[in-house]
Amino acid sequence: MVESAETDWVSRFADEVISEAERRAPGKPIVCASGLSPSGPIHLGNLREVMTPHLVADEIRRRGLDCVHVLSWDDYDRFRRVPAGIDPSWSEHIGKPLTAVPAPPGSVHANWAEHFKAPLDEALKELGVECRGISQTEQYTSGAYREQILRAMRERAAIDDVLSRYRSKQVEDYFPYKPYCHLCGRDLTTVTAYDDETTELAYTCECGFGETVRLAEHDHGKLVWKVDWPMRWAHEGVVFEPSGVDHHSPGSAWIVGGQIVGEVFGGRQPIGPMYAFVGITGMAKMSSSKGDVPTPADALEIMEAPVLRWLYARRKPQQSFKIAFDQEIQRLYDEWDALGRKVATGQAQPAELAAYKRAVGTAAGPLPATAHPVPYRTLASVLDITTGHAGQTLRILRDLDAVASLDDARPRLDKAQTWVDDHMPADQRTRVRGTPDYDLLDSLDPGARESLRLLADGLDDWTIEGLTTLVYGVPKVQAGLPADAKATQELKAAQRAFFALLYKLLVGRETGPRLPTLLMAVGADRVRKLIGA
Helices and strands: H and E segment counts in the chain: 21, 14
| Cα separation, 277 vs 452, whole angstroms | 53
Lowest mean pLDDT among 100-104, 262-266, 485-489: 485-489
pLDDT at residue 533, rounded to an integer: 81
- Better pLDDT: 285 or 331: 331
pLDDT band at 284 (very low <50, low <70, confident <90, very high): very low
Mean pLDDT of 144-149: 98
Q: Is the pTM of this model over 0.85?
A: yes
pLDDT at 290 over 60: no
Percentage of residues in the chain having pLDDT higher than 70: 97
- pLDDT tens sequence across 156-211: 999 999 999 988 777 789 999 999 999 999 999 999 999 999 999 999 999 999 99
pLDDT at residue 517, rounded to an integer: 86
pLDDT at residue 514, rounded to an integer: 87
CA distances from 1 to 161, 237, 394, 486, 487 (A): 40, 20, 52, 61, 62
CA distances from 452 to 73, 347, 438, 533 (A): 65, 46, 14, 7
CA distances from 224 to 178, 228, 257 (A): 7, 6, 11
Q: How many other CB atoms are found less than 10 A from the CB of residue 60?
A: 29
Residues 6+ apart with CB under 8 A from 518: 385, 430, 506, 507, 512
Query: Can the peptide bond before residue 482 be classed as cis, meaning omega within 30 degrees of 0?
Result: no
| Cα separation, 462 vs 53, whole angstroms | 52
Report domain extents, the chain: 9-144+225-275, 164-223, 376-423, 438-531
Lowest mean pLDDT among 290-294, 333-337, 465-469: 290-294
Q: What is the CATH number of domain 438-531?
A: 1.10.10.350
pLDDT at 3 over 50: no
Q: What is the CATH number of domain 9-144+225-275?
A: 3.40.50.620
DSSP string, 223-259: E-HHHHHHHHHHHHT--B--EEGGGSSTTSHHHHHHH
pLDDT at residue 6, rounded to an integer: 54
Q: What residues form DSSP beta bridges with 78?
A: 97
pLDDT at 291 over 70: no
CA distances from 481 to 21, 83, 384, 427 (A): 73, 66, 35, 37
- In 63-173, which residue ranges form alpha helices assigned H by DSSP? 112-127, 136-141, 146-154, 156-164
Lowest mean pLDDT among 23-32, 240-249, 333-342, 361-370: 240-249
pLDDT band at 288 (very low <50, low <70, confident <90, very high): very low
pLDDT at residue 282, rounded to an integer: 59
Query: b vs e for 156-179, b when ≥16 Cβ sit within 10 Å of the residue's Cβ?
Result: beebbebbeeeeeeeeeeebbbbb
**β-strand 132-135 against 67-73: which pairing, if any?**
parallel
pLDDT at 1 over 80: no
